[in-house]
């Protein structure tokens, strides 16, 4: 396994385990513990959460495992996110809340749910047109000084949104968690990846296989992509085309950190296996060309 230094004292594994679909895995607490042990043994040490996952229930399910096996906590880094408020009996619409009280309160809930006294990295889940960056800065600074949060970042932020928030912060942002896959290159083209290189930070990648569409979508683009992935798979000796798709991400100079959302160890190990493959620039652009349907300018 490769590890990436995010900031002083904090390294993330190059493959992250995501818990958005934890309920779909249908694992008992003991089964989840065994799965976590298998992932940790593979070198997957970074765990990605959000307060809203599973309608605000996933963090507590994960915490049940840590309460039963507290020794596992020292072997992992925990990421969580806050800021999205779902429509409910107490909220008339879905909205974003980045008030200091809300950020501080959600961190306390996450700490309690997951049975830990610190979070390795807290992300703001979505940019908000109503965000007060001075308020966010005050919350981050207090959380950092208290030791409850070791580092900070954002998710789904565009470069201008990232720069604006950064200009107010006294603590650095260490990542931007974004969507990226061969079937969705938006953040490759809108300046987000370039900004990560400029800032010397490593982006985390959600939906690296386009939610499975790489395998199932029947559009002309997806079919061309699969044919190209298969051609490259044969060239590099990979087991399946998903390893080629992960290798396409790993090969980018920004050193993206993809999130795998599978509860099966065989599938969770696929991106780990892909780390041994380094695509040539020609192979990388073969995938780009297959998706775009035309050569580079």
> What is the mean pLDDT of the segment spanning 262-286?
96
Supply 14's token pair. Answer: 């190059």
Active site residue 102: no
Q: Is the pTM of this model over 0.75?
A: yes
Q: How far apart are CA 204 and CA 252, in angstroms?
A: 12
Beta bridge partners of 178: 205
- pLDDT tens for each residue of 86-110: 999 999 999 999 999 999 999 999 9
Q: Residue 142: how many CB atoms within 10 A of its CB?
A: 15
Percent of the chain scoring above 90 in pLDDT: 100
The active-site residue out of 3, 53, 86, 168 is 53
pLDDT of residue 35: 98
At 96 the pLDDT is 98
Give the confidence band of 245 by pLDDT, cuts at 50, 70, 90. Answer: very high
Residue 286: pLDDT band (50, 70, 90) is very high
Residues 6+ apart with CB under 8 A from 220: 293
* pLDDT tens digit sequence for 109-120: 999 999 999 999
Distance CA 90, CA 81 (A): 20
**Digit-coded pLDDT (tens) for 156-182:** 999 999 999 999 999 999 999 999 999
């Amino acid at each position: 396994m490769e590890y990436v230094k995010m900031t002083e004292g904090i390294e993330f594994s190059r493959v992250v385990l995501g818990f958005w679909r934890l309920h779909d895995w249908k694992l008992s607490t003991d089964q989840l513990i065994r799965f976590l042990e298998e992932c940790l043994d593979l070198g997957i040490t970074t765990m990605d959460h959000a307060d809203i996952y599973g309608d605000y229930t996933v963090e507590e399910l994960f915490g049940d495992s840590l309460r039963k096996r507290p020794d596992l906590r020292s072997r992992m880094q925990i990421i969580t996110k806050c800021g999205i408020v779902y429509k409910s009996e107490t909220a008339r619409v879905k909205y974003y809340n980045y008030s200091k009280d809300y950020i501080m309160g959600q961190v306390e809930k996450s700490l309690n749910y997951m049975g830990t006294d610190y979070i390795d990295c807290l992300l703001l889940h979505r940019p908000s047109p109503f965000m007060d960056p001075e308020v966010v800065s005050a919350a981050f600074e207090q959380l950092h000084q208290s030791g409850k949060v070791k580092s900070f970042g954002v998710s789904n932020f565009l470069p201008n949104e990232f720069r604006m928030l950064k200009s107010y912060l006294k603590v650095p942002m260490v990542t931007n968690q974004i969507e990226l896959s061969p079937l969705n290159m938006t953040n490759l083209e809108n300046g987000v990846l370039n900004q990560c290189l400029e800032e010397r930070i490593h982006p985390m990648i959600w939906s690296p296989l386009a939610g499975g569409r790489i395998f199932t979508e029947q559009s002309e683009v997806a079919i061309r992509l699969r044919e190209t992935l298969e051609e490259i798979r044969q060239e590099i000796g990979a087991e399946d085309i998903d390893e080629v798709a992960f290798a396409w991400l790993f090969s980018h100079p920004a050193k993206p950190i993809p999130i795998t959302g599978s509860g099966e160890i065989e599938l969770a190990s696929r991106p780990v296996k892909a780390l041994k493959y380094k695509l040539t620039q020609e192979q990388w652009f073969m995938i780009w060309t297959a998706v775009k349907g035309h050569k580079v300018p």
